[in-house]
Amino acid sequence: MLKRKHEDYLANIKHSFADNPTLFWSYHKAIHSNKQQSTIITHSDIIATTNPEKVNLFNSYFSSAFQPKSDRTCFEFNDASETVMQISEIQLETNEVCECLITLDTTKACGPDEIPARILKECALEISPSLCSLFNTSLKIGKVPDEWKKSNVTPVHKRDSRENVSNYRPISLLSIISKVMERCIHNRVYPILSALINKTQHGFL
């Protein structure tokens, strides 16, 4: 029975390649990543062989490699012709939240709350009023739930040896709900701030 199910799964991947190539490449990546996974991870003179040791080594390296710089250059906004509202004054509408939920990419991984994008997307009409109320309360009091400040950090191999921890980069998986709120705020403030952003800013807009 398991063999038949596996054959059906492979057949589905084959026949749906034209319409859904992501399914094929996800399967391809899963197979090759399992074969290439290193049994040990090293950094300097430290060798990690067990999963807890690897986790601690990655955590130690990422923490040391990504420290804030003290000599940051700050740019001032250009003069605004109109008064820009405070973020606490933003009042999101239910339809805005619903639209962001409906356009979620269901292939994206969820964060520590383990709420997948597919559930949020499929239940958009039902949950958008409650989420809208939550978002507006958060904006009004200037606080976000502590759970939204947590992330699952996944080391992603970038180059060269898979045994060297310095050849990995961290990817933080945040709560999808928090990113929905960010998208709603972005849609509101970007049209206003786009005229104020310094011309030397090129990325992350």
pLDDT by residue (tens digit) across 7-22?
A: 776 777 777 777 777 7
Residue 110 pLDDT > 70: yes
Neighbours of 91 (CB within 10 A): 12
Tell me the pLDDT of the chain averaged across its residues. Answer: 81
Task: Report the pLDDT value the prediction gives residue 11, as an integer from 0 to 100.
Answer: 77
Percent of the chain topping pLDDT 70: 77
Judged against a pLDDT cut of 60, whether residue 37 lies above it is answered with: no
- What is the mean predicted confidence (pLDDT) over 180-193? 89
**pLDDT given at position 68:** 64
pLDDT band at 67 (very low <50, low <70, confident <90, very high): low
If we measure between CA atoms, which residue out of 115, 169, 178 comes closest to residue 143?
178
How many residues appear in the chain? 205
Per-domain boundaries in the chain:
90-198
pLDDT at residue 5, rounded to an integer: 61
Nearest one of 114, 121, 107, 112 to 180, comparing CA atoms: 121
pLDDT reading at 126 higher than 60: yes
